[in-house]
Each structure stands twice: as C-alpha cells, then as structure tokens.
Amino acid sequence: MKKQFKGVLASVVTAGLVFGATVASAGSHSAETIKVGVLHSLSGTMAISETTLKDTMLMLIEEQNKKGGLLGKQLEAVVVDPASDWPLFAEKTRELLTKDKVDSIFGCWTSVSRKSVLPVIEELNGLLFYPVQYEGEESSKNVFYTGAAPNQQAIPAVEYLMEQGVKRWVLAGTDYVYPRTTNKILEAYLKSKGVAEEDIMINYTPFGHSDWQSIVADVKKFGSAGKKTAVVSTINGDANVPFYKELGNQGVDAESIPVVAFSVGEEELSGFDTKPLVGHLAAWNYFMSVENDANAEFIKKWKAFTKDDKRVTNDPMEAHVIGFNLWVQAVEKAGTTDTDAVAKAIIGLETPNLTGGIAKMLPNHHITKPVLIGEIQEDGQFEVVSETDGTVAGDAWSDFLPGSKDLVSDWTDPMNCGNYNTVEKKCVGAVAAK
C-alpha cells in the first residue's frame, strides 16, 4: 500500500508544504572554471576504499573536459583529504563551498562522514553526490544518494540467504551509524519473517579492528547449533583484511558459515589472498565481472587512465559514474550550476548504468538500481549468482521500522519534503537515524 501511495501522493499534497525562502546558491557563476569538490579519505582507515573514488572522479572530469567541458567552461577538480576523520569532513566541506567555491561535491564513504557533512551542505546550500550503500532513514534536499538504500542491497541479500536455507544470523558490523541502523532494519525484517531472537547474534567492533580471534570463535560456536548460519557483514574499511584472514585461519568457509558483505568489493579483495574466501558473498549493484560493452569500455578507460592493468573497478565507482553523468545532464538542462536549478533539473533524468540497464534519479533523491549477489572467486572477482529482474527504486525510509514505515520523500512541488508522514498527512521535519 505504501509503495502505491507514493506514486500519487505529490498530486494531493497542498502547496503550503513547500519549504520557505530559498537560500542563496553556493555555486559560482562567474569563475573561469566550474569547480568540482572531491571529498574522499586519502589517508587513515578508509583510504583502502576511498582513494579509488578520488581517482574515479579525476578520470570523469578529465573525460568531460576532453568533450569540451560544461557550459563552455572546463571542469576543475578540487581534491581534499579528510583523512578518515569525521569532523574534518565537515571542515573540508565548508572550505570547499566558501573558500574554493565549488559547484558540487562528490564524496564521503561512511555514513558518519556523510552525517558530519550534512548540516554544512544544507546550511551553505551546496550539492553532495554520495556514492556508497547506506542505511537509509535520511532524505536531504542537498544530497543525491547514488549508492544503495537497504531495500537495494541489505534486504535482497538476506532474502537470498533465506532461500539457501539459512536459519541463524550473525549481524557483524563496524560500530557506527550505518551498521547499527542497517542491522536494526535487518533484525526487524528477520523477526517479521519468524526468526527467533535467540537465532540472531549482533556484534560491533571499532574502525580498524584487528584482533578477530575471539569473535570468529564466537561465530563458529553460534553456528554449531544445528541450524544453517550466515554472517551478514557491515564491517567497513581495512578491518576487513584481518577479519577475512581469521575466518580462513579458523576454517570458516562458505560451506559451513557463508559471509555476505555489504562493504567488501573488488578493491578490498585486492589486498589479500582470496583462496580461503572462495564462495563467500557480497551484495552490490555492480560487479567488475559483469559482461557487456559498456562495462568493458569503462574498464578499458580505467586501466588506461591509471596506467595500471591490475587496477580493479567496483560498485561505488559505478555510483560516481552515474552521479557525475546525471549532474552533467542537469547542469546542461538548467543552463547553470546554481544549486536549486540543478536540483530541480536532475529529477527524472536517466543515464545508462554499467550493468546494462538505466539509472533514473527519483523525486526522493535516490536512483533505480539492479541488485546483484556475487560469490568471491580465486582471482578476487565475483561470479553473479543472483540478480533482480530489472531495477529497484531506492527507498529513503524503511518499511520495517515503526518510525519510518509511514514516511515518504519527494523533493518536487508541491510536496518538497524529505519526510512526509502519510498518516498525519504533514511534513514532520528532520528524522535522524539512531
């Protein structure tokens, strides 16, 4: 019922819900170049994942400049390093918008970094394109979420494991907002499917955690109760390397206790021996191994740009490709880099993804994405074992949390609201993920 209601809701909401006076745009209109902020950690625990996204943006900007730039101007990348320091993300964002006068920002990986940026990007009316899967429970007029929402990754992954007979669940994550909120959603979902509380084990570890011996031993013990057990991993950053190594050390393989990861892709797997990990899973919306002409051309360009034939591609890279291409289209359509004009122009625009389908920007600032489950291979690539028919529309608010199931997001007129309560029939204001 909720999904059907979303499609017609905007037509019945009164114009009085429209937000008030527009804040002045952070975009620069008279500069000789159009500046693009690149906000990714190049040092610290998240550098293992984020450095590649910085390189991706540099490649996309270089390609666009070869095409003649945008609005008759060349694009200029402004690269900063927030160094896996969450408050520093906010500080660097303020500098990008006020000092460097960037017209848009592409960046962040963790949700804690995005939530650090959020008040600054809203205060200064900038644009952030966020390329990584996240926990949902958020909708900002200044953020475009090109990574997966939970209904585009976490829920389909658990559904797949249920189909494989999994009855017991280890929800293992890094201790911050994305894993905690995602696991809250997954716990509610599992219980709605009849899974008993004693069949759910939840564990959190700090960023950069390295001693996994006792935790993996606990997982093995939990999985020895006679029911098929799986690990759903929201472990982020370089902690994945010792985690997977310890699984191998203790003989936890995909046959005994499969692991499905939401933050481990080709880039992370390139850092260690994958032989003990063969058969473990990841859920993404793109894999490098997908075979089609668009992906083959992208991989070829990437290896040429990096001058390294061993460099891999991954899902957040594809999200940046999609976000960048949609932003370029929106600027061309609006005829300006003005924040409000671009944000209005981008809704409904489409661009090819790299899996053979189409990504469309929705009124809730999320996009349509296919969902793929892949098995780790010895070469560090993934073999796709499950794929949705067509694409799935990203949902900002979970259907499985009491405070969220009645909320919808639509940033077009007349609603212009990120959290409209369909029961109370009003815009309820900011709702923060717990």
pLDDT tens digits for range 84-100: 999 999 999 999 999 99
**Is 70 exceeded by the pLDDT of residue 7?**
no
Residue 425 lies in a domain: no
Q: Give the domain-ending residue among 240, 257, 284.
A: 284
Residue 120 lies in a domain: yes
- How many domains is the chain partitioned into structurally? 2
How confident is the model at residue 272, as a pLDDT?
Answer: 74
pLDDT in tens, 333-384: 999 999 999 999 999 999 999 999 999 999 999 999 999 999 999 999 999 9
Contact predicate 15/413, CB 8 Å: yes
Contact predicate 246/212, CB 8 Å: yes
Same domain, 266 and 323: no
Residue 4 lies in a domain: no
Residue 182 lies in a domain: yes
pLDDT band at 20 (very low <50, low <70, confident <90, very high): very low
Residue 233 lies in a domain: yes
Mean pLDDT of the chain: 91
Q: Give the domain-ending residue among 229, 253, 284.
A: 284
DSSP 8-state code for residue 23:
P
Which structure tokens are listed for 11? 């037509």
Same domain, 176 and 107: no
How many Å apart are CA 406 and CA 150, to the nearest integer? 16
Containing domain of residue 262, as a range?
A: 151-284
Q: Quick one: average pLDDT of 29-58?
A: 92
pLDDT in tens, 222-247: 999 999 999 999 998 888 889 998 99
Same domain, 262 and 312: no
How confident is the model at residue 294, as a pLDDT?
Answer: 95
Residue 410 lies in a domain: no
pLDDT band at 307 (very low <50, low <70, confident <90, very high): very high
pLDDT band at 204 (very low <50, low <70, confident <90, very high): very high
pLDDT in tens, 144-163: 999 999 999 999 999 999 99
How many Å apart are CA 402 and CA 36, to the nearest integer? 39
Same domain, 89 and 131: yes
User: What 3-state class would DSSP assign to 151?
Assistant: helix
Q: Specify the CATH number for the domain of residue 244.
A: 3.40.50.2300
**Is 50 exceeded by the pLDDT of residue 1?**
no
**Is 50 exceeded by the pLDDT of residue 10?**
no
Main-chain phi, psi angles of 328, to 5 degrees: -60, -45
Same domain, 185 and 97: no
How confident is the model at residue 399, as a pLDDT?
Answer: 94
Same domain, 31 and 71: yes
The proportion of the chain whose per-residue pLDDT surpasses 90, expressed as a percent, equals 85
Same domain, 126 and 176: no
**Is 50 exceeded by the pLDDT of residue 113?**
yes
Which structure tokens are listed for 423? 């029961």
**Distance between the two ends of the chain, CA-based, in angstroms?**
26
| Sign (positive or negative) of CA dihedral 415, 419, 425, 429 | negative
Nearest in space to 278 (alpha carbons), one of 259, 294, 306, 304 = 259
How many Å apart are CA 135 and CA 180, to the nearest integer? 8
Contact predicate 177/112, CB 8 Å: yes
Contact predicate 106/323, CB 8 Å: yes
DSSP 8-state code for residue 153:
T
pTM as predicted? 0.88
Same domain, 271 and 168: yes
Same domain, 253 and 310: no
| Sign (positive or negative) of CA dihedral 308, 53, 77, 146 | positive
Contact predicate 150/182, CB 8 Å: yes
Same domain, 52 and 145: yes
Residue 381 lies in a domain: no
Q: Give the domain-ending residue among 249, 284, 319.
A: 284
How far, in whole angstroms, is CA 224 from its chain's centroid?
33
Residue 83 lies in a domain: yes
Same domain, 212 and 125: no
Same domain, 76 and 167: no
Helices (H), 194-338: 213-222, 240-249, 266-269, 293-306, 315-334
How confident is the model at residue 274, as a pLDDT?
Answer: 86
